[in-house]
Amino acid sequence: PCESGNSMPWFGMDIGGTLCKLVYFEPKYITKDEADAEVETLKNIRQYLTKNSAYGKTGHRDAHLQMDDVCIRGRRGTLHFIRFPTCEMGNFLALAKSKGMATLVTTVCATGGGAYKFEENFKKEVNLSLAKFDELDSLIKGMLYIEMTNPCECYYWCDPTDEDKCNKVPYDFSHPYPFLLVNIGSGVSILAVHGPNDYKRISGTSLGGGTFLGLCCLLTGCNTFEEAIELATVGDSTKVDKLVRDIYGGDYSRFGLPGDLVASSFGQMNSKDRRNTVSKEDLARATLVTITNNIGSISRMCARNEKIERVVFVGNFLRVNPISMKLLASAMEYWSEGTLKALFLEHEGYFGAVGCLLQFTG
Ligand code: ADP
């Protein structure tokens, strides 16, 4: 039954510093009353959203993440996952207007900094009100809901340092607490989560996904995240970094530091000769490794301080980025002598958007 005030459509939006994540709930069954009442514009919007996988030049629907037959507030339906660069917000608003969103005069649930930054634009340009929710509340609510709903949401990387043996293994996260949640977006937030409504933000760093992409564009001339990851995939960071063996000629065994450990990120690049021999692929890889290892090391210190053993990494920095996931997995394992476990989630960047959709009560 459709409760009053829960009028469709249901959207959740997480407007971040780099990407805007949009989650759309498409009901499976529409009551006769709803069908009669459904205005033509809503039908059009539904069709537009669910039939396309690309919207304009920069919008994408992640069809592989779609969740069918889920239950939200007593309604069954499908969750669709859509993203576009936040800098395209102007075009998004124009599109929403041209599709007649204005005539629906509904409220859109929104979270992330953009929910504040763009609130006026939504009102003025599309006549939409935003129901604003806190981004960290939404992140946790969304991840707990998706994890409970999708049996193969949570996984870890086994044998992360072995190219051939390494693969994804499902992880049973049915008793989640306590865990550390590391959200790697443009920047990084680290939360200690002890219960569904019991968490604190314990740390963070401004050296995040945005830093990787920014530095990579500067150093290699690339223009997109996908391009940066492709370059990094074939690059060799040891041509850029100074390793323990570059300094010691081998291991620094007294303190258990192996020769292939990075002693100084980008430490070779002070030499002109070295600079002349590195490729943009090597630079992209070194940037990725530097940012990832720094996040890994801060996460480890947080886990140790909080006496928490499971660390869940989320955020779009991990999108199409197995290099970073494996690095985080192996660094966690290695430096904790096997006591820390790095966990990952399939819907990595979408939890904030899902969480704010769930909190909407009309
Ligand atoms: P935010 O909410 O701060 O935008 P996200 O969790 O969406 O954070 O992650 C943004 C980061 O994800 C970027 O800084 C970049 O490292 C990475 N990323 C992944 N895919 C893309 C993409 N298509 N465009 C831009 N950045 C991307």
Say yes or no: CB of residue 225 within 6 Å of ligand 1.
Answer: yes
- Is residue 7 predicted with pLDDT exceeding 80? no
Residue nearest to atom 5 of ligand 1 (CA): 185
**37 C-alpha to ligand 1 centroid (Å):** 38
Cα separation, 42 vs 99, in Å, equals 9
> What would the pLDDT profile of 74-120 be if each residue is shown by its tens digit?
899 999 999 999 999 999 999 888 888 767 657 889 999 999 999 99
SS3 of 211-278: the string is: HHHHHHHHHHCCCCHHHHHHHHHHCCHHHCCEEHHHHHCCCEHHHCECCCCEEECCCCCCCHHHHHHC
**237 C-alpha to ligand 1 centroid (Å):** 22
Say yes or no: CB of residue 212 within 6 Å of ligand 1.
Answer: yes
Mean pLDDT of 319-326: 98
Query: Could you tell which of 13, 15, 19, 230 is best to mutate to test the pocket of ligand 1, judged by most ligand atoms within 8 Å of the CB?
Result: 19
Give percent of the chain above pLDDT 90. 80
Q: According to the model, what pLDDT value does residue 4 have?
A: 36
Say yes or no: CB of residue 112 within 6 Å of ligand 1.
Answer: yes
Task: Considering only residues 221 and 361, tell me which one the structure prediction assigns the higher pLDDT.
Answer: 221
- pLDDT band for position 362 (cuts 50, 70, 90): low
- Is residue 293 predicted with pLDDT exceeding 90? yes
Say yes or no: CB of residue 209 within 6 Å of ligand 1.
Answer: yes
Name the catalytic one among 88, 135, 147, 333. Answer: 135
Pairing of strands 129-132, 154-158: unpaired
The C-alpha torsion from 153 through 211 and 135 to 308, rounded to 10°, is 60
Say yes or no: CB of residue 204 within 6 Å of ligand 1.
Answer: no
Q: Judge whether 337 counts as a catalytic residue.
A: no
**258 C-alpha to ligand 1 centroid (Å):** 33
* pTM of the entire predicted model: 0.95
Residue nearest to atom 10 of ligand 1 (CA): 185
What are the Cα distances from residue 158, in Å, to 109, 169, 297, 339?
Answer: 38, 7, 20, 14
Query: Could you tell which of 314, 316, 321 is best to mutate to test the pocket of ligand 1, judged by most ligand atoms within 8 Å of the CB?
Result: 316
Q: According to the model, what pLDDT value does residue 105 have?
A: 57
Say yes or no: CB of residue 114 within 6 Å of ligand 1.
Answer: no
